[in-house]
Structure 1
Amino acid sequence: MSVVDIHTHMYPPSYISLLQSRYDGAGSAVPYIRTFEDAPDDPRLIILPDEDAKGGRGRPVGPEYWSVEQKIAFMDTHNIETSVVSLANPWLDFLSGFESPTWAAKINDDFEAICASHSPRLFFFGVLPLSGPPLTIIAEIKRLQTLKYARGVVIGTTGLGRGLDDPEMGKIWEALEETNTFVFLHPHYGLPSSVYGSRASEYGHVLPLALGFPMETTIAVARMWISCVWDRYPGLQILLAHAGGAIPSLAGRLQSCLEHDGHLRGNGKEEGPKRTIQEVLKQNIYLDAVVYGEVGISAAVGLVGKDRVMFGTDHPFFPPLGADEKEWLSVRTNYDAIQEAFTDEQDQDAKGVLGGNAIKVLRLQVD
């Protein structure tokens, strides 16, 4: 049985250097990487403006983020044959339109070299210079077609800065469809911290990670559907992170609310999407299996079909808290959820989710 991890991140060394260069000790603009006097060997990534203003320490960024050797060791520990790596947030959205095309090409070339040096175990989703002019974004989409180990692109829910239903995204969607480029859609920063209430700081990162990121994806996909993105670009194929957030539970409610909306459907109007959300999900959407529970896996399979769900780990996030733990609880939980979601008679379906689907959809063979 081949196991393929399609949701796994890396920050190549060049990207780490870029983030480190942004910290000048005073007045630095997020994101940046810095260390603190009491922990000089513990570099931290500061992403959010609120973190910066309040002296937050962000997230630790150790070798597990940039070392390909550690990525391969993690794969070996968890019996993962192949990984499709991608840059994680904040991608290149913080760069100017002048800078981002050069950095996108640099990072994609770095990924190509990393994957080539560990072929056929690694492939990648490329990053796009979404803060740059549309022509430069389209040029990078087309250039990625020439890279041997590229298998699509990763983008965040903000798109060009105004969301994925932004009319200006049309040229980008068109280019992605025309080139048959697979898209991995990943949440960006979650929801505003105010939605979690005044006591949220007492709960660590549980609420934003468990609820904020998935709901960000849910809202982005709903906006894409209501604004008719898939009606205009019916060939667009998108993989949603974290099993699509709340989409499996709320798809029927989305459709019903659309049909009962007086602004879009009242007085004989037929505005909004022509295809149902269920049709789009089964024809244009893939879901990863990063949901940590049998009920979530079953819902994902029921929503998009057994051939459109793929295993992922979200490495290097959610590491074990114990220093001596080699096996990651987060990965074991995902493995168990997939096994529990299928009966013995559905063993082939489980194998498809664990690797077969990704191998077929993403063409994970190298000549």
Structure 2
Amino acid sequence: MAPTPIVDIHTHIYPTTYLTLLRSRTEVPYLLDLPNKSAPPRLIILPSDDDPALPAHQRGRPIDSSYSSINQKLDFMKTHDIHTSVISLANPWLDFLSPEEGYQWAEKVNNEIEDICSTSQNSLYAFATLPLSAPSRSIVAAIECLYLLPHMRGVVLGTTGLSQGLDDPALEPVWSALESAKLLIFLHPHYGLPSSVYGPRASEYGHVLPLALGFPMETTIAFTRMWLSGVFDRHPKLKVLIAHAGGTIPFLSGRVNSCVQHERHFPEHEYGGRGPKRDLKEVLRENVWLDAVVYSPTSVKAAVEIVGKDRVLFGTDHPFFPPLEEGREEWMSVETNVQAVTEAFGDDKQGVTKVLGGNAIELLELNVAGAG
């Protein structure tokens, strides 16, 4: 029997329609073209990037053709023996649009990504983008339209929801629609923590503090608020894939549970519990999957310990974190993730196979040749 193909469930793209949108803007987020026309434009993605005191070529991050070229993504997959990728629009998605614009741009982006996937011979599937700045009825309509896009396997979702967080009661129609459609939610950070927590020297460290620490804590807080508000009590079939192995959820879940049990402001349930009716451990084991984009066998082990080896999925975060050496085809970031998975499981070859591809094929019902 052939080994299970490798499936990359955390890989991004900025399609042409989205780049056109960013280039039309002058406020964060936007594309900044440099005077040197041969240099790639800079994506001004965080408020801290929009600093006029910095030279243009030092603001944001460079966005070269690897962020939009499907041929380059397929070449990347071939180089790293990745059989199938589930692509998603990279942050900041469409959260910044006005309510009037959101639905139309979501439709444009999703249709373009569907067209890309439809010509890939099952090499590409996708997570759709939702118009979260639009009224909830428009968001629900966008979810219902995904039935017409056969390569969509879920939705990518930021941590702010409708701008008030994932414990916002206004999200109830959205949770209901996603649960009914049996669509996976790929929960991904973007906004990080308030810039003040990084201190006055933060600019000296580039994006290290926001990406390494801000993103994981943002994700942890967003999911915990979602659970605390009873979302998984009201929507027990909701499915959530959390980026970057759940942030710090595997490490802090016990502490969170303990704090809930000792919090007297929560009403006591008839069976004696406090807070959400469903225990956090139960929700993590029944509603949650984690990706393995953590670059460390210790972190992969923690993810497996908290959700089980059937619920951890391989990812690369392509096209972010490219090779450090010019001309190198293999990406250190990808090799580190593969190595982390193989080292975490040791002699458990079945566990490695599941994480690298088998779990994604089963969860997302991917039509992958040779998957049997």
1:87 partner amino acid? L
Q: Partner of 1:31 in structure 2? A: 29
For the residues of structure 1 that align with 2:23 and 2:67, how far apart are their CA atoms?
14
Paired residue type of 2:40: D
CA contact (8 A) 2:260 2:274 kept: no
- In 1, Cα distance between the equivalents of 2:64 and 2:182? 35
1:52 alignment partner AA: D
Contact 2:66 2:72 in 1 (8 A): yes
Task: Write the distance in 2 (CA, Å) between the matches of 1:178 and 1:117.
Answer: 28
Is residue 127 of structure 1 aligned with residue 129 of structure 2?
yes
1:164 is displaced (CA, Å) by 0.4
Tell me the alpha carbon deviations over residues 64-98 of structure 1, each in whole angstroms, 9 at most, x when there is no partner.
Answer: 01000000010001110000000011101111111
Match of 2:87 among 85, 88, 91: 85
In the TM superposition, 1:282-297 aligns within 5 A as 282-297=285-300
- The secondary structure found in structure 1 opposite 2:39 is strand
- Give 3-state SS (helix, strand or coil) of 2:220's partner: helix
Q: Does 1:325 align with 2:363?
A: no
CA separation in 2, counterparts of 1:271 and 1:349? 36
The one-letter amino acid paired with 1:44 is R
Contact 2:245 2:290 in 1 (8 A): yes
Report how far residue 42 of structure 1 moved: 2.0
CA-atom RMSD, angstroms? Answer: 1.7
TM-score, normalization by structure 1: 0.95
What TM-score does the superposition give when structure 2 sets the normalisation length? 0.94
Aligned-pair CA distance for 1:252: 0.4
Quote how far apart the aligned CAs of 1:179 are: 1.0
Give the aligned residue type for 1:151.
R
Which residue is 1:246 aligned to?
248
What is the CA distance between 1:40 and its match in structure 2?
5.3
1:243 to partner: Cα distance: 0.2
Q: Residue 175 of structure 2 corresponds to which residue in structure 1?
A: 173
1:258 maps to which residue?
A: 260
Query: Percent of pairs identical after alignment?
Result: 57
Contact (CA 8 Å) 2:261, 2:273: kept in 1 or not? Answer: no
Alignment of 1:66-81 (within 5 A): 66-81=68-83
Does the CA-based 8 Å contact 1:258-1:265 persist in structure 2?
A: no
Q: How far apart in 2 are the matches of 1:341 and 1:170?
A: 38
Describe the shift of the 1:266–1:172 C-alpha distance in structure 2 as closer, same or farther (beyond 3 A): closer
Give yes or no for contact 2:268–2:275 (8 Å, CA) kept in 1: no
Contact 1:20 1:34 in 2 (8 A): yes
Residue 114 of structure 1 deviates from its aligned partner by 0.3
1:300-354 CA distance string (max 9 Å, x none): 011001100000000001111211211111000000000001132x101110000
Q: Is the 8 A contact 1:47 1:58 kept in 2?
A: yes
Give the number of equivalent residue pairs.
361
Residue pair 2:31, 2:41 contacting (<8 A) in 1 also: yes
Q: Partner amino acid for 1:145?
A: Y
Give the Cα–Cα distance (whole angstroms) in 1 for the partners of residues 53 and 69 of structure 2: 28
Match of 2:159 in 1: 157
Alpha-carbon deviation of 1:41?
2.9
Letter of the aligned partner of 1:298 in structure 2?
K
Please state how far the C-alpha of 1:58 moved relative to its aligned partner.
0.7
1:237-290 superposed Cα distances (whole Å, 9 cap, x missing partner): 000000001000000000000111121268998552011110000000000000
CA contact (8 A) 2:261 2:275 kept: no
Q: Secondary structure at the match of 1:264?
A: coil
What is the rounded CA distance, in whole Å, between the counterparts of 1:265 and 1:203 in structure 2?
44
Aligned to 1:237: 239
Q: Which residue of 2 is the match for residue 338 of structure 1?
A: 341
Correspondence for 1:225: 227
CA distance in structure 1 between the partners assigned to 2:102 and 2:31 by the alignment: 18
Deviates more, 1:195-204 or 1:165-174: 195-204
What letter corresponds to residue 14 of structure 2 in structure 1?
Y
Q: Structure 2: how far apart are the matches of 1:40 and 1:325? A: 21
Residue in 2 that maps onto 1:25: none
Determine the structure 1 residue equivalent to 2:319.
316
Alignment of 1:181-192 (within 5 A): 181-192=183-194
Tell me the amino acid that sits aligned with residue 324 of structure 2: L
Tell me, which stretches of 5 or more residues in structure 2 are unaligned?
none
1: CA distance between counterparts of 2:114 and 2:358?
Answer: 23
Indicate the residue corresponding to 1:215 in structure 2: 217
SS of the equivalent of 2:50 reads: helix
1:331 corresponds to which letter in structure 2?
V
> C-alpha distance in 1, partners of 2:268/2:234?
23
